[in-house]
Structure 1
Amino acid sequence: MRILRILVAPRRDTHLKTRTRASLLSRLPRLALAGACCVLALAAQGACPPSAIASLGKPGAAVGQWNAADRGLLWRADRDGRTAWLYGTIHLGRAEWVRPGPTVQKALEQSDALALELDVRDPVAMQPMTQQADPAVVARLLSGERARRLARQNEAACVPPGTTAGLQPILQVMSLAGLVARADGLYPEFGADEALAVSARNNNKPVFALESAAAQLKMLTGDSEAEEAEQIDAALDELESGQLRAQMKELADIWARGDADKLARYPEWCNCLNTPAEQRLMKRLLDDRNPGLADGIERMHASGQRVFAAVGALHMVGPQGLPALLAARGFKVAAVPLVAQPPVAVPTAPPPKATTRGAQGARNNRGAKASGAKASGTRSTGTAKSAQRAPAPKSKQRR
């Protein structure tokens, strides 16, 4: 049930207590494909997976060392002589996914503004996510065995006791979903929405929100405390069973390869519509929100702006998806093919202060490693071809 969220809702921050509130929508799997991205700066502890920043210390993991590849789902929507772009995102990702691919980057450059579900860098707009929850509500919903289950999951995720205690109860549980995927190299910090926002701002392109944080919070809490409690229990079940981690990895892989057909059949295989509460949540996350998202995109387009709208990928598929809704409003909508290529390491220059002898030794070592890799057959044909297109360093080694 929670898996949907990584494709449905968004957010980002710096300290765990603050960021968790503002970015919780990007934590559940469904929210990953239906929302935004968030940043949890947790230090690696013991057997816990490293934080996003710490993961970049691994060999070959640095973002700048990878060629960009197109991933996700992209549509072009034309009306009134102007083009709008619809890009289906995921709210967590891998370090090598951070840089937008050439097709996506070109579409963003041809736009006047970037539209996201939420502008998570606007502290005023994000206040509903960061404000303290009613202590009485927290006491009613997180007590007894439910509180002990949550404490065990926080400990397993290396979240210090009390870090999320002031959050709305459902947010306290959802905040763990983004941490589960760290073991598979998936982090909210590397989500597509966040990468696009950075790219837009670096190019002085305005960023707009299509929704409000208050509306998203209302969507998550449901219509009653009983419904919120049911969702909390379901989320804890998925965390304890390991189902959540497996689902998030599968959804991330589906998004990365742009498998729109399988994504459109999500209700058939997600195992997330088994109870009335889950069915109501799905309706709130997708069907109830899509018309409002379409309204926002249409308003921006009517104002004369060429908008690049990036929202969770599950908002894009099916008869109630944004491409279908905009087509019904007179837009000429067409899918733009995206073919994700295997990431190829971009060669880096040798250290500027290296001595002649040291530089020669480094080149010899790299050559030996490259020869060993080639002999062992570990480099695929597709990767080798992509590497041929990448600029080679003076040593002519392909990394």
Structure 2
Amino acid sequence: MPTSVLYEIDHRDRGKLEKILNDASLVANSEAVLWRIDKAGVPASFLFGTVHVIDTNLQSLSQATLAAIDASKVVAVEAAETSRASLTNAMTRAQPLMVSHDRELQRILGDDEMAVVEKVLADAGYPSQLALGLKPWAATMFLADSPCQRQLQERGLKPMDTIVVERAQAIGARIVGLETTYEQYSSLASIPPELQATWLKASIELHPRVDDVTQTMSELYRFRRMDAAWTLTREMAPNAGLDDATLASLRDELVSKRNARMLERALPFLDKGGLFIAVGAMHHLGLQGLVALLRERGFTVTPIE
């Protein structure tokens, strides 16, 4: 049974937990997951934050969120490619980005760390020797796999992004992607090598608790404290070298750079109104988040819930 890291820290040091959560509450635009976007002369649009995990408590959308989807003509998600064929095609195109020709993992990982990656690959049905030919970012993606998440999916439970898409399909809204899956892979592959290595080492340290991580992410989402995920990652992986500068660089590579691209893709639809944007809630936060970027472009963005 997964255990929330929040309860663990609370038991060990309540003051530390209170500071982590309080600091997260002070981050700009962290108070809501559903926002109304207004521009004079066009219908309202909406911005909705999801969390990319499956949770039994997150299997339905609020009435306000459903109403916002139903009032929209277009629903934009991070990547609209959902068919097995399109995902397979994206993976095939991305394979050259995943491949290391100089046994990169063997150079940057110790034997114990390498063994973790090899076991994860074997458990996923791949030869363990594949680790010798992977880039660090690609190995990190394999380490994110969660047994509990797989079990929930086998039971028929869905991530929030899928629930949004299914509602959009039910009302006949047009569904568009703000990125392609290949672009997402390319963004990961473009992370500087030293940062990829640190991210991988943190993921290896976290891997024995990967189910606890997903449980914690769900709770941070419900508490509107998503920004605390960065501090909690450092708390759970103290040996990975995740100092403030490294975490800031990871945030920039994984979130901020993608925000700019997603905004540019959304603007033609926002200018007409009637758009519902559903992306990970982490993309809303801070001065480089989508809420702030939309306001810089002259939109009025108001929290709903």
Q: Output the TM-score relative to the length of structure 1.
A: 0.56
Distance 1:164 1:105 in 2: 47
Give the corresponding residue for 2:214: 248
Letter in 2 for 1:176: L
Structure with the larger helix share:
2
Give the corresponding residue for 1:79: 39
Partner-residue secondary structure (3-state), 1:120: coil
RMSD between superposed Cα atoms in Å: 3.3
Letter in 1 for 2:124: V
Distance 2:250 2:44 in 1: 33
User: In 2 relative to 1, CA 179–247 (structure 1 residues): closer, same or farther, beyond 3 Å?
Assistant: closer
Letter in 2 for 1:74: L
Structure of larger gyration radius: 1
Shift of 1:142: 4.1
Contact 1:114/1:207, CA 8 A, preserved across alignment: yes
Shift of 1:91: 1.1
1:221 aligns with one of 177, 189, 193: 189
1:148 aligns with one of 115, 129, 135: 115
Matches within 5 A, 1:41-190: 73-80=33-40, 81-95=42-56, 97-121=58-82, 123-124=85-86, 127-131=89-93, 133-134=95-96, 137=100, 140-143=103-106, 145=111, 146-154=113-121, 158-162=123-127, 165=130, 170-182=137-149, 190=158
Is 1:280 aligned with 2:249?
A: yes
Distance 1:114 1:219 in 2: 23
**Gaps spanning 5+ residues in structure 2: where?**
1-31, 236-241
Give the corresponding residue for 2:28: none
Is 1:197 aligned with 2:162?
A: no
Identical amino acids, percent of aligned pairs: 21
Q: Output the TM-score relative to the length of structure 2.
A: 0.71
Partner-residue secondary structure (3-state), 2:82: coil
Distance 2:244 2:54 in 1: 29
Task: Report how many aligned residue pairs link the two structures.
Answer: 258
User: In 2 relative to 1, CA 126–160 (structure 1 residues): closer, same or farther, beyond 3 Å?
Assistant: closer
What do residues 83-142 of structure 1 show as CA deviations (whole Å, max 9, x unaligned)? 110000011122452332322111101000110111132645773434463486166134
Distance 1:103 1:218 in 2: 35
**Gaps spanning 5+ residues in structure 1: where?**
1-71, 338-399
Letter in 1 for 2:39: R
Contact 1:126/1:213, CA 8 A, preserved across alignment: no
User: In 2 relative to 1, CA 250–138 (structure 1 residues): closer, same or farther, beyond 3 Å?
Assistant: farther
